[in-house]
Amino acid sequence: MDFAYIVLAASLIVAAAIVAFALRRPAAPVVEPPKPDPRIDTLLQAQGEITGKFTQTVTAQAELQRTLTEQIDALNKRLGESLTDSATKTAATIAGIGERLTVIDEAQKNIAALSGQVVSLQEILSDKQTRGAFGQERMESIIADQLAPAHYDFQFTLSNGKRPDCIIRLSADAGLVVIDSKFPLEAFEMLRISATDDERKLAMARMRSDVQKHVKDISEKYIIKGETQTPVIMFVPSESVFSELHYGFPEIMQRAREAKVAIVSPHLLWLAVTTMQAVLRDVKMRESAHVIQKEVGALLDDVRRMSERVAKLRDHFDLTNKDIGLIEASMRGVDRHAERITAVDFSDDSQPKLTG
């Protein structure tokens, strides 16, 4: 190594210096050997110390270089592993971001499609006829899901010639339950988009006017004594419109109840039809109970007739037993007479005698 060469060179230089110093001294007498110079010993000792320190320095530097090499290798290894792990996590993160972007893209497409459907629905509901058809279809789907076809009719003609959207038959004795669909959407939209107090007042007046007109028409057309039940049901096919009526116009709901008209939302209609379904089950059970009672009465009549016939048969058995007893008594009499006849003595010297 470089340090070893340096130490060797230093040693050679020190030795050369010592030789040169010795040569410059005058020659000693031959008769007497020269005494050792203490300075040479000092120089040799210093040379040994310098050589030892250089050797220690070289060894320490080699150990330091080895330690540094190991630490650098370990650092490179950890750095490589860290970079690999970071690259893996980064790739996974990028893949996750890509998937989320795909989902967001699909969601945006769905939102765009839904926006088109909402616009289409608004266009449909802007027309009164199509809006009425929309409300009637919602009502029909709720009723058809809960009741059997025999218990309801759509567009049924009443005795006065009026045709409500639906009638429900609960029983033969009860009147018809009438349901008619109304959708005051214009007033609700005016109320929803009103920006000033004047616009809101105008929209509220329109809402009151439209709903009260619907209530009046339903009350006058479909309440027929002895034919229809009260209250008549006014179906509003929007939970939002019904909520606005219920919380914002309580006086309208009260006047409708006074006119024997019940305003219901889709959810309330479903509950009402579910209750009607339970009533129909009760009616069917009562009808079945009548049939069971009739059959049980007929069964009791049969049991009673059977009891009478069993009693007559017992009387016949008793009379037969009595006749058999009389016959048996007669047979015993015949047996006694036969035995007596058998015992008659027919000898010559005596008269016939019956023995016994």
Average pLDDT, the chain: 77
Residue in 249, 236, 246, 237 with CA at minimum distance from that of residue 206: 249
Across 14-18, 260-264, 333-337, least confident range: 14-18
In the chain, where does DSSP find H-type helix?
2-24, 38-125, 128-146, 185-193, 197-222, 239-248, 250-258, 266-342
Q: What is the pLDDT of residues 194-206, one digit of tens each?
A: 888 888 889 889 9
The sign of the torsion formed by the CA atoms of 222, 228, 231, 237 equals negative
- 166-169 and 176-181: which strand pairing? antiparallel
Rounded to whole angstroms, what are the CA distances from 11 to 25, 39, 46, 151? 22, 16, 10, 126
Q: Is the pLDDT of residue 266 over 70?
A: yes
- 261-264 and 232-235: which strand pairing? parallel
pLDDT of residue 261: 92
Q: Is the pLDDT of residue 5 over 60?
A: no
Q: What is the pLDDT of residues 61-102, one digit of tens each?
A: 778 878 888 888 888 888 778 778 877 888 888 887 878 778
Q: What is the pLDDT of residues 210-229, one digit of tens each?
A: 899 999 999 999 999 888 98
Dump the DSSP string for 6-65: HHHHHHHHHHHHHHHHHHHSPPPPTTSPPPPPHHHHHHHHHHHHHHHHHHHHHHHHHHHH
Dump the DSSP string for 133-152: HHHHHHHHHHHHHHS-GGGE
CB atoms within 10 A of CB 303: 10
Q: Is the pLDDT of residue 234 over 90?
A: yes
DSSP H or E run through 176: strand 176-181
pTM to 2 decimal places: 0.48
pLDDT band at 178 (very low <50, low <70, confident <90, very high): very high
pLDDT of residue 118: 42
Q: Is the pLDDT of residue 260 over 90?
A: yes
Q: Is the pLDDT of residue 111 over 60?
A: yes
Q: Is the pLDDT of residue 121 over 50?
A: no
232, with CB counted inside 10 A (0-12, 13-18, 19+), is: buried
pLDDT of residue 117: 44
pLDDT band at 188 (very low <50, low <70, confident <90, very high): confident
